[in-house]
Structure 1
C-alpha cells in the first residue's frame, strides 16, 4: 500500500479518538443526569433507527458523487453539531430532551459518513489489499476505543462535556486535512438525481445483493448478532457504574480498545491467511459469546476487562474478514450502495435490542433480581448491577447459539471460495 494510505490512517486515528472521547462523555453525562439505563437506550435507539432508515440513501450519494468531498462535508456537519451541544453544556442549557434532535442528526450523518468511508477505502487500494486495509483501519478504530474512554474520562473530570467536545472538533479538523491529500476519483455521470432514480439505484443494488448468497447469509447472521450487541451497548455502562465510577468504566472500555488494537495487529500480520477465511469468523463469534458470559458472572473489573480483551480481539478479526469479503466482491460502480445495504441489514435489528435493553434491564435490576436473589446470585453474583448482568449473561448464551447453528453454513463456505478466487487473480 502507498505511504499516503498510512498517513490517512494516522489522521483518522486522531479524528476517531476525538469522536470516541465525545461519545463516551455524552454517555456519562446522560447516566449521571438521569441515573437510568433507559435514558441512554433512548438516545442510542434514536441514533440507530435513523441510521438504519437513511443508510441506503447514503449509499446512493456515495455512488453518484466524489466520495472524498462527501466525507469532508459529513465530518464538518458533525463537528458543527458537536459545537452546538458544547455551547448548551457550557451554559447549563443541555437536557436529555434537547439531545434528541441532535441524536436524529447524528443518526443521519454518521451512517452516511461510514458508508462513504468504507466505499472510499475500496478506491484507494488494490483488490489483493482489501483485507489488509480493512485491518489497518480497524487498528485506527481500536486506538480510538482504547484512548477515547480514558482520555474522555480525564478531560470530563476537569473540564466537563464542553472540554471534551472542543478536543473532538480539533481532532476532526486534523483528520479532514489528511483526507485532502487524496484526489477524488471521477464519478461516472448518471441520470438526474430524483426520487424515481434514487429508488431505481436502490433496486439495482438490492437485486445485486440477492444474487450474492454468501454475502447475504453473512450479513443476516451478523444482523442477529448486532441485535444482541445492542443489548450490551446499553447494559455495560450501568452494570459497571453500579459498583464503580467513570474511571472504572473507562478502564473496561479501554481494555476493549486495547483488544481491538491487538486484534487489528493480528489481522494485519495474517491478512493473506484471513482473506476469505470465514471459518475463522465463526470461531471468533463463539469466542465473543463466551466473553459476554464471562463478563457477567461477578461484579469484577478484572472479569469485565477479560471480557473486553476476548470480545475485542475476536470481534476485530471477524469484522476484518467480513469487510475484506465485501470489498473484494463489490465493484466500484455499486460499492457505495452495496455497503449501505450491508450496513442497513446488519444494523436494522440493533435499535430493537437497544430499545428493549433499557426497560428490560431496569426491570431485572430493580424488580426481578431482588425478588429472586437467592436463585440468581450463584449465577451472576450479589450486589447492585446484577440484574443488568443477568441480561448480559442471557445475551452471551444466545450469541454462542447463533454461531453453533451456522458452523457448517454452506453459503459461507462458498463465499470463502469466491473471495479467494477474486483476490488471488
Structure 2
C-alpha cells in the first residue's frame, strides 16, 4: 500500500504537468505544432527504451531501478522548473527536460509490475492488481480536471513543482519498503547484444504467423490515429473554450475509459475477438468523425467519452488475442516487438499533426479560405476549425482501415488459422502463467 500510494502520487503529478504544459505552450504560441512536440518529447524515449526496460528489470535490482529512476525524473522536472523560471521562451530546453523525465519514467513499469509478486502473497495478487489498475486509471481522470484549475491559480511553475514533489514522494516510498529480489539466471546479465537478439527472435515469431503480423500492422495504424487525436484535441477545444473546460472534457473522457473497463470486466468481451477489435475500431471512427463537426463542448465531450470507452474495450480485446495466441515462454520478447513496431508511427503522428493543422487545414478554413464556403458551411470557419476538420479526416481514415481489416482474410481469419496456445503442439498444460 505504501508503494502503491507513491505510484499514485507520481502518476498524478506527471499527468498534471503533461496536461498543463500542453495547454500553456498552445496558449503561449497559438501553434498546434509546438503543443504536439511536447507529446513527441515524452513518447520517443518510451518507444525506444521500453523494449529494453523489461530486460533490465529481469536482470537488475528492481527496487534500485524504481528508486533511482524516480530521483532521475525528479532531477529532470527540477531542470524544467528552472527553465520555465529563467527562460520560458526557449522551448527547446522545455522539450529536452520533458524527454529526460520520460526516459527515467519508462524504466519504472516493468520493474514495478515485476516487483508486486515479490512483495505480497500470491493469493492477494488479484486484489493488488485491481488496486494498481484503479490507481493507473484514476490519474488520467482526476488530473485534467484539477490541473485545468491549478494552472489558473498557481501557474505552470507551481504545477511543475507539485510534479517534482510527487517523484520525491515515490522515491521515499521505494526507499522505505523492502522488496523481495528475483535472482537472474546464469548468463542473463544485461547486455545490448542480448536485448537485440531477444527483439530479433520476437520479430521472427510474429513474421512466421501472418495473422499476427497483420494484427501488428493494424495496431500501427490505430496508434497513429490515436497519436493524431492526442496532438489535435487540445488546440481544437481551446479554440472555443478555456483550459478549465478542456480539463473537464478530458476527465469525462477518462470516465468513459473507466466505464469501458468495468463493462469488459463483467462481459469478458466478444467470443470472436478479432471481429470485436475491428468493430470497436469502426465505432471509434464514427465518434471521432463526429467530434469535429461543430465547436460544441457537449458534442466533443460525448465523442471523447465514447472514443475512450471503446478504446478500453478494443485494447483489452487486442491484448487478449496476443495472450491466447503467443506462448508464455516468448510473450516478453513478442511484447517488446509489439511495443517497438506497434508504436512506431506514433511519433510520426505527433510530428505531422501540428504542421498539417497550422499550415494546411487552418488556412483552408479561415473566413477567406478555399474550403470556407464548402466544408466551412458545415463545420464552421475560424481558428481551430482546420484542426477540427483534420480530426474528422483522421476518423475517416480509421474507419477505412477498419473496413479493410474486415475484408482482409489473413486478419479476419486469425482465430481460425492460428490455434490457441493450449492447442498448439508442445504447449504446456495445467500451468498457470
Question: Do 2:257 and 2:308's aligned partners in 1 also have CA atoms closer than 8 Å?
Answer: yes
d(CA) in 1 for partners of 2:277, 2:13: 29
Is the counterpart of residue 197 in structure 1 residue 194 in structure 2? yes
Identify if the C-alpha distance between structure 1 residues 181 and 417 changes in structure 2 by more than 3 Å, giving closer, same or farther.
farther
Partner of 1:304: 300
- The Cα of 1:306 is off from its aligned counterpart by 0.5
1:77 to 52, 56, 72: 72
| Cα distance change on mapping 1:244 and 1:75 into 2, 3 Å | same
Taking structure 1 as reference, are residues 417 and 403 closer, same or farther at Cα in structure 2, changes over 3 Å only? farther
Residue 14 of structure 2: which of 19, 39, 46 is its match?
19
> Contact 2:294/2:380 (CA < 8 Å) preserved in 1?
yes
TM-score norm. by structure 2 comes to 0.83
Deviation at 1:112, TM superposition (A): 3.8
Mapped to 2, the partners of 1:394 and 1:46 lie a distance apart of 25
Gaps of 5+ in 2: none
> Which residue is equivalent to 1:407?
406
Q: CA deviation at 1:240?
A: 1.0
Pair 385,93 (structure 1): closer, same or farther in 2 beyond 3 Å: closer
1:242 corresponds in structure 2 to: 239
State which drifts further: 212-221 or 304-313.
212-221
Q: Does 1:338 align with 2:337?
A: no
Report how far residue 95 of structure 1 moved. Answer: 2.7
Alignment correspondent of 2:260: 263
The answer to whether the Cα contact below 8 Å between 2:22 and 2:38 also exists between their aligned partners in 1 is: no
Contact 1:115 1:340 in 2 (8 A): no
Match of 2:372 in 1: 373
Indicate how the Cα distance of structure 1 residues 120 and 386 shifts in structure 2: closer, same or farther if over 3 A, else same: farther
Measure the CA separation in 1 of the matches of 2:212 and 2:171: 32
TM-aligned CA distance change 1:379 to 1:417, over 3 Å: farther
| Residue 182 (structure 1) shift | 5.1
From 417, 420, 430, the equivalent of 1:418 is 420
TM-score (norm 1): 0.84
Superposed, 1:117-132 pairs within 5 Å as none
CA contact under 8 A between 2:58 and 2:182: conserved in structure 1? no
**SS of 1:374's equivalent?**
coil
Do the aligned residues in 2 keep the contact of 1:297 with 1:379 (CA within 8 Å)?
A: yes
Q: CA deviation at 1:296?
A: 0.6
Q: Indicate the residue corresponding to 2:141 in structure 1.
A: 146
The alpha-carbon distance between structure 1 residues 95 and 121, as it changes in their structure 2 partners (threshold 3 A), is farther
241 and 345 in structure 1: CA distance in 2 versus 1, 3 angstrom threshold: same
Which of structures 1 and 2 has the larger relative contact order (alpha carbons within 8 angstroms, sep 6+)? 1
Higher helix share: 1
Q: Which moved more, 1:351-360 or 1:179-188?
A: 179-188
CA RMSD, 1 decimal: 3.6
Q: Give the one of 7, 26, 41 matched to 2:36.
A: 41
Question: After the TM superposition, which of the residue ranges 216-225 and 18-27 deviates more from structure 2?
Answer: 216-225
Structure 1: which 5+ runs fail to align? none
- Farther off after superposition, 216-225 or 70-79: 70-79
Deviations 1:354-392 (A, max 9, x none): 111101101244421221211012432344211111100
